[in-house]
Each structure stands twice: as C-alpha cells, then as structure tokens.
A and B are shown apart, each in its own frame.
Chain A
C-alpha cells in the first residue's frame, strides 16, 4: 500500500516535469546563429528625421509625421535553399517613431545565406479571421474599421504641394484579396554571408521614403495627397514602397 502511494506521488512529480515547455534546443548537437534585422528609414541614405523637410524626385517638399508598416515572414536563403528561421517570424509592426520596433532577431541553424526575404503586409487569412492581438491589435491604428482589413503600410506628413486641409498627405495602403491585393514580397540579394555562432550578425535594411513617390510609378503629392482604401492607387503605392528596401550593411556585432 505504502509503495503504491509512493509510486503515485513520484509519477505525478515526474509527469509534471514532463509537461514543462521544452528548454531551448539541445545545446551541443546543433549550432545556433543569431541574426538581428534592423529597418532604418532613410532619405538619400540619411536617417529619416520626423518633421524635417525633404524633397522628392519631383522637387516637391515634404516632411514625415508617421511611417508604419507590417514586416512579415522574414527568411534567409542560400541560393534556393531556405534556412530554417525561428524567432519573431510572423508580424512585426515597424514604426519609425518607435526605435524599439525597428529591430528584431531571428535564429537559424544554417550558417550561410545570400539573400534576405520578407513580406510587407498581413496575410489574407489574418484579415478575415476576426480580432487578432499583439502587433495586429486593432488598437494599433492599422485596421480599417469600415472596410475590414489591415492597413499594410502608412505614410503621413505635410507638403506645400498637398491640396488637403493643413497641406497634409496620408497614404494608407491596404487590400488583401484579388485585384486589390497590396501584400508585397521583397527579396534582397547579397554576397554570400557566413554566420558566426559566437556573435550576432546584424543586417541593416534601408527603407528609402523617396521611393514611395517614384519607386515604380510616378506618384506626385500634388496629384494624390491621400489614399484610404484598397484599389489601383493603393496597389501603385505598394509597388513603389516594395522597392524602397536595400541592404545597407551586414556586420558582426
């Protein structure tokens, strides 16, 4: 009787441990490499300063009050081989006004890559599956309340070329389905990089604001001071900002 009782206590104790979350990896069997990705909003390779006056390629003056976009599914590839990446791999709301949103780290078990890919925007399924949380919390101001769906990216500011009240411009780009799809995949190639397991490798990705106006399509502020709904104009802005990214630097930290 006593042994049975002891057995019960013992097995319960063991089983409690069995249900604990797995501890981080099996150290010693696989190497882990840490990569820190930093998005740096820039204008002509100079860090964006909110409120500062700049000029786009049409000579239009502007200053930025807000830049936010969803960076999703970061991945590293070596030629066509995808490196298995863990960490903050789903959505990250990048906000130019909040420095702590610009960087995040991922880990991988492979050591060589020659391209970095990610998506700008929120997957279709997460636009139609009810209320989400975290960086997708509708309280973040990136969810359209009258026409369900996420704003994938937004750029707001002022320009003397805007005909809107306060000379403001507001580009809220969204649309997740069919012809209105504004989700964009971005791949940035680099020379082959060898990761070192002893230190974090940093990838600095520039996001050049000027490309919003002239990346692929010519979109003057004087012609369009706002976009607030899915459609052709939103798609054109998405095409433009999809080419605003470039790898500025890869370095060990």
Chain B
C-alpha cells in the first residue's frame, strides 16, 4: 500500500516534470506577474483584448517608462506624455494644438487617452486601425516626435535599465519595435476612466444635484445619440458643421478613405473628463464647453456631409445650457487624474 502511494506520487512528480520541461523558457527566475484588465460595470466588451500581448505588471511598467521617456523623440523633449498629460486626462491642457519638434505645432488637438481599449480606430480621422501601431504616427511625424523606430531601438538598447526591463517583460534582453509597442499598448490600454461622479451615481453611491439631474435628462435627449453612454462616444465619424480652417485645410476622415462622403467628418470624442481637457474640437478651436454648446445652438454650417442630427442646429435654451454644464462636470474622473499608478513618479 505504502509502496503504491509512493509510486503514484512518483507518477505525479513525473507529470509535473513534463509540464515544467514543456514550458517556454521565460528567462529563468524572473516570473511574469499577470494583471487583469477589469471591464467596469455597464461597459461593453473592449475592442482590444491583449491578444498576443499578455498583460503583465512587467509589461505595464515598461510601457509606462516608455510613455514618459523623451528618448522616443528626436531631441529628447517630446515623450508621449508631453502631449498626453495626466492632469488633463492625458490630453494637452490649454493648447488648441500641441507643440512638437523644432517649434512646430501638431495639426490636431491631442485627445485624452482613456478608454482607448474600446476604440475600433484611433485618431480624429480613424486612420489608425490598432492600438499597438498608434505610437508609430506621433513618433515618426516630423512635427511631433520626429524620430525613427530604428533610432529609438538603438537608444533603448544602449540603456542597461531598459535591457533589464525588456528581459523582465518578455523573457530576454532583446529590444525590438514589436516589444516596445506591445508594452506601450499595455500601459495605454490600462488607462480606464470609470470613476466619475456620474459612474458613482449609476452605481447608487452618489446622487446628482437637481441641476445635474436636469442636465442629465437634457443630455440624454439632445446629445446622447452621438455621445453614447457609458463611453460617451459612439466611436463614429461625423461632420458637426464646423467651418474649415483655411490654414489647416483638414477634411478629416476623407483623408483616409478618399471618399467625398467622408469630407469634414471627425471622430466623436468622449465627453468623459471634458472639463479637464480644454480646449475642444479636432483643432481645439473652442476654449470652453459653453462655446461648444453655443456652436450647436447657433453656428452649425449645413453642407452635404453635415450630420442630420445637428444640421438644423440643436435647440438648447440658456437655462438648459447651464444644467447641461452642471451634468458634464460630473464626468470628471478625479480618481484617474490623480492615480499614481499612471504617474511618472511611481
């Protein structure tokens, strides 16, 4: 009896050996620490599911370091974080257009980076089809980070700290563009905004003031077709009747599709954190939320591609506008803005 127990134990041990010996080598002693991507209550399934990019603490930390590292830009001055500031919900505060290499402006307003994992496409014109390849655009744009992938890889390889972090995240010290971009995707996709007052009201943990409640009803009646809850965007492209800037001459989505029906269409931005991300619009032309509301009340230009939902302007009274502003303030996610997990220091 005793012998057979030992025998069984031996077989089990052998089985364990099989499992161990068949495991992919992960660089020995530094085991990966998986972390979970939590879908907030009421949110749909995300578009990005970390397929072929296992989400780990090591990958996230590497992505964070890259996000804040100026060496991803040509002169060292323009990390991702230069245009995506945490205190502005990862948009650029107080800049219609952000600053790039050699005293140049970007051509569009930097969007806040949060809930990116739910986006089917990225950029105002939807030109980017996957979160992992998005950083290539600002990195290589001459008026943004103005750097090449090869130069960045060379710089990172020369840094022992990075070699260690790549090894920790991917099993060995090899540094290549795929690993760098996957790590960045881990960091950026983890930036989720779901803890505003609005969210707490939805969970029954807070209550709207009378003005906020009234504003919410107005929002649902007049804004929610495009700024759909809970992400506060339907991720579509629409012409909201803005006149073309005669310097930028930006026709939006048409640049990508080549289809005149897409002329002047831009991605519907989320209204989450709207009070943290001013100014507004694809070129940042609106300096206040009130000015945006006034556009929809008074200034929409109706053309062949203007969205039917706004082509005849949106009737909003002054009284409704004030309540609407009260409600929109409940979309500020202070938890995200102050979360040290996404901050450079930690």
Contacts and interface: CB of A to CB of B under 8 A. Distances in A.
Interface string A221-245: 0000000011100000000000000
Contacts of A16: 17, 21
Contact of A4 (B10, B133, B153, B181): B10
Interface in B140-166: 140-141, 148-150, 153
A128 B129 contact: yes
Nearest to B2: A1
Given A145-B141, A230-B258, A130 B131 contact: yes
Contact of B130 (A130, A137, A229, A230): A130
Given A4-B7, A145-B141, A139 B185 contact: no
Contact of B52 (A130, A148, A149): A130
Contacts of A8: 10, 13-14, 17
Contact of B256 (A7, A18, A147): A147
Interface in B144-202: 148-150, 153, 176-178, 181-182, 185
Contacts of B7: 4, 7
Contacts of B17: 8, 11-12, 15-16
Taking residues whose C-beta sits less than 8 angstroms from the other chain, chain B's interface range is 35 or more
B235 interface: no
A224 to B, nearest CB: 15
B144 to A, nearest CB: 10
B32 interface: no
A23 B323 CA distance: 72
A15 B185 contact: no
A143 B257 CA distance: 17
Given A7-B10, A8-B13, A127-B129, A133 B256 contact: no
B22 interface: yes
A8 B16 CA distance: 11
Contact of A133 (B10, B53, B140, B176): B176
Nearest to A176: B129
B178 A1 contact: no
Contacts of B309: none
Interface in A1-58: 1, 4-5, 7-8, 11-12, 15-16, 18-19
Contact of B21 (A15, A230, A231): A15
A7 B17 CA distance: 12
B18 A143 contact: no
A131 interface: yes
Contact of B127 (A18, A137, A139, A146): A146
A12 B14 contact: yes
B322 interface: no
Contact of B177 (A5, A19, A131, A148): A131
Contacts of A143: 133, 136
A1 B10 CA distance: 10
Interface in A107-150: 127-133, 137-139, 143, 145-149
B152 to A, nearest CB: 9
Given A12-B21, A15-B18, A139-B177, A131 B258 contact: no
A137 B6 contact: no
A1 B3 CA distance: 7
A180 B256 CA distance: 11
Interface in B107-154: 123, 127-133, 136-137, 139-141, 148-150, 153
Interface in B216-273: 255-256, 258
Contacts of A137: 149, 176-178
A15 B51 CA distance: 30
Nearest to A132: B178
Contacts of A138: 133, 136, 149, 177, 181
Given A4-B6, A137-B177, A130 B14 contact: no
Query: Closest 9 interchain pairs by CB?
Result: A130-B132, A139-B149, A12-B17, A11-B14, A148-B129, A145-B136, A133-B178, A131-B181, A131-B132
Interface of B: 3, 6-7, 9-11, 13-14, 17-18, 21-22, 51-53, 123, 127-133, 136-137, 139-141, 148-150, 153, 176-178, 181-182, 185, 255-256, 258
Interface of A: 1, 4-5, 7-8, 11-12, 15-16, 18-19, 127-133, 137-139, 143, 145-149, 180, 229-231
12 contacts: A4-B6, A4-B7, A7-B10, A7-B14, A16-B21, A19-B18, A131-B185, A137-B178, A139-B153, A143-B136, A145-B137, A148-B128
